[in-house]
């Protein structure tokens, strides 16, 4: 099946709510086939309304999470871990109800926690993440949803920075519906080689986000795009490819995103020019006409 191209709601508005569903028309018009909806505030989104809007506009849906301090499945306080699990289960419900195959995102911790942990503390945090995500994944299995876990760069988390560390977490969770989301922005900071990182994690690559090294328009910076797409071809990646960037107004994870200046002429230009570039790469390397 050919890959489908998507746009993250973080490029459009934040938080994305029921009042913003009309933006799907714009996303479709730009040429995207998928809208990736970030569940920043679940109370302001209805899965019924999302499903109806995506049907109307002929878009597929991808659900991702935003992990603020009270959605932390590896927190030392069990109450906070349970809040994180509850939030993720809510995201799983959204995914099941709107037809998203996965819930994706850096779900193992609160984004922006980049402390220095001793090896013992880190192991403890890792184990809490694995235990909590195992519980979420079991629930997700019942709803026929997968989890796509996203490694983040060193400034946004202290737990999972590289794809290899992501695989380690997947193995610890040890359920078949658990894999990874890889994002070129983070990989450009943390990996030594895009091709090795992806090829070594091939069975776990569930979902893909693309972003330039400065979070600007894909194709206008330093990311090694040919290497990246050639490797997606090599592992026969047939999933969605979603353009992600952030409006400077993102609240839930503002400290982590640190997007305080514009990286493209406009967010619309980033989406349109980025899609043209990504489609070109996909035609060159993937099963896309």
Ranges within 207-246 binding other proteins (CB under 8 A): 212-214, 216, 220-222, 224
Nearer to other proteins, 99 or 248 (CB): 248
Question: What distances in angstroms separate CA 43 from CA 127, 197, 285, one per listed residue?
Answer: 30, 37, 41
Number of residues that bind other proteins (CB under 8 A): 29
Choice from 44, 49, 115, 284 touching other proteins (CB under 8 A): 115
| CB 240, min distance to other proteins, A | 25
Residue 188 in contact with other proteins, rule: CB under 8 A:
yes
| CB 259, min distance to other proteins, A | 7
Length of the chain: 289
Residue 183 in contact with other proteins, rule: CB under 8 A:
no
Of 35-43, 61-69, 112-120, 125-133, the window that binds other proteins (rule: CB under 8 A) is: 112-120
Residue 154 in contact with other proteins, rule: CB under 8 A:
yes
Of 62-70, 128-136, 206-214, 275-283, the window that binds other proteins (rule: CB under 8 A) is: 206-214
Choice from 33, 36, 93, 156 touching other proteins (CB under 8 A): 156
Residue 99 in contact with other proteins, rule: CB under 8 A:
no
Q: Report the distance separating Cα 12 and Cα 16, nearest Å.
A: 8
Choice from 258, 276, 280, 288 touching other proteins (CB under 8 A): 258
């Amino acid at each position: 099946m050919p890959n489908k191209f998507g746009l993250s709601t973080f490029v459009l508005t934040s938080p994305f709510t029921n009042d913003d569903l009309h933006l799907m028309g714009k996303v479709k018009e730009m040429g995207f086939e998928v809208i990736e909806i970030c569940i920043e505030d679940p109370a302001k989104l209805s899965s019924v309304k999302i499903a109806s809007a995506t049907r109307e506009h002929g878009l597929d849906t991808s659900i991702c999470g935003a992990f603020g301090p009270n959605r932390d499945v590896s927190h030392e306080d069990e109450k906070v871990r349970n809040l994180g699990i509850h939030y993720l289960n809510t995201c799983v419900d959204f995914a099941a109800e709107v037809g998203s195959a996965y819930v994706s995102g850096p779900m193992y911790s609160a984004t922006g926690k980049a402390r220095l942990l001793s090896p013992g503390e880190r192991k403890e945090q890792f184990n809490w993440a694995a235990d909590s995500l195992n519980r979420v994944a079991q629930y997700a299995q019942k709803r026929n949803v997968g989890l796509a876990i996203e490694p983040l760069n060193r400034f946004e988390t202290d737990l999972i920075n590289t794809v290899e560390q992501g695989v380690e977490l997947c193995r610890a969770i040890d359920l078949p519906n658990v894999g990874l989301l890889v994002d070129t922005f983070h990989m450009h900071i943390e990996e030594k080689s895009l091709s090795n990182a992806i090829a070594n994690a091939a069975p776990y690559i569930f979902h893909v986000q693309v972003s330039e090294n400065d979070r600007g328009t894909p194709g206008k910076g330093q990311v090694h795009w040919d290497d990246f797409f050639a490797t997606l071809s090599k592992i026969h990646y047939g999933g969605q490819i979603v353009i992600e960037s952030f409006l400077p107004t993102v609240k839930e994870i503002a400290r982590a995103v640190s997007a305080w200046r514009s990286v493209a002429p406009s967010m619309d230009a980033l989406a349109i020019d980025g899609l043209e570039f990504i489609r070109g790469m996909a035609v060159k390397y993937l099963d896309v006409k």
